[in-house]
Structure 1
Amino acid sequence: MRRNTKILIAGAGAAGVLGLGLFAAVPAGAAPSPEPSTSASPDKGGKRQAYRWAARGARGVHGEATVRRDGGFRVVTWQRGEVTGRSGAVVTVRSADGASWQWTTDDQTRFRRDGEKSRLSAVRNGDQVIVVGERTGATRTATAFRVPKD
């Protein structure tokens, strides 16, 4: 009986690793996702989880995932790269693969620099950043903007 339990636990672990790999790989190769529904309320938990995933050593440079929340859909998006420009509340970030996205910030955007609370005014060209937010149409709105410690 003990051997069956070990096999069951090992199988469940392998299935979890496979599921995580598919979660990371499939959205990158999938066709463009449909526009998100505006009927759903914002999902702070989903964005927070995406931010943690992007910030904790994930090696990807940018990505999106369509998530179902409260009967609607949201496109959660993230990017790791270098700040190449800033105009008002819009920050342009270029990833290592050359993708350049513009991120709109607002009064709800949280900024962190070197582990401390910060502001948009502290973001400079050349900063290496991790940005997480939502995409609605062609507009990416940043929820969290992080300049990690060097």
Structure 2
Amino acid sequence: MRNNRKTIAAGAGAAGLLGLGLSFSVPAFADDPAPSPSPTAHAGQGHPGKGHPLRRARALRGVQGVHGEATVKRKDGFHLATWQRGKITAVSATGVTVRSEDGVSWTWTSDGRTHVRKNGEKSSLKGLAGGDQVLVAGERSGGTRTARLIRVPHHR
């Protein structure tokens, strides 16, 4: 019975984190560990607003999983949010292929809504390279994964 409680608690915690972090268009995993300023304090100054992907994923920063998917409900229906941590094995003009530690390899497409961050700065697909360690988050529709965020963390 004790193991069942631990399993249920772990599952509920993971579901809560996924629901919180993926209730979007997918989280951004901001690099700055400092507390976030209020959205009104910087309105109109180029800082991401409350609903912006770069403000949503701080809850997932501590999650150590390598990839996953969750069904999330939005105003327009249900969507399949998905994410992956791993190394880039290929970069093209339209996306990246990422291989996780467990051997799973997914190809992610990019579009005009994809945010690319490298070492804390805005970047583009051209700024990414094979071997870069990344976090990719986005949506899956059928067999197509579309990235909303591709993040290469700071090198410390």
Give the C-alpha shift of residue 70 in structure 1. 1.5
Deviation at residue 87 of structure 1 after TM alignment:
2.4
What is the 5 A alignment of 1:66-145?
66-70=71-75, 72-145=77-150
Contact 1:129 1:146 in 2 (8 A): yes
Question: Does structure 2 retain, via aligned residues, the 8 Å contact 1:51–1:78?
Answer: no
Instruction: Indicate conservation of the 8 Å contact 2:93/2:125, yes or no.
Output: no
Whether 2:24 is the aligned partner of 1:45: answer: yes
- CA deviation after TM superposition for structure 1 residue 71, in Å: 5.2
Give me the TM-score of the superposition, normalised by structure 1: 0.69
Q: Which amino acid aligns with 2:63?
A: A
**Structure in which a larger fraction of residues adopt helix:** 1
Query: Among the aligned pairs, what percent are the same residue?
Result: 48
Deviation for aligned residue 1:106: 1.0
Match of 1:19 among 9, 12, 21: 12
Cα distance in 1 between the residues matched to 2:98 and 2:59 = 19
TM-score computed with the length of structure 2 as normaliser: 0.66
Query: Mind listing any 5+ residue stretches in structure 2 that lack a counterpart?
Result: 1-7, 17-21, 28-52
Aligned residue-pair number: 116
Cα shift readout 1:71-127 (whole Å, capped 9, x = no counterpart): 511000000000001222121000000000000001110010111111110010000
* Bigger-Rg structure (1/2): 1
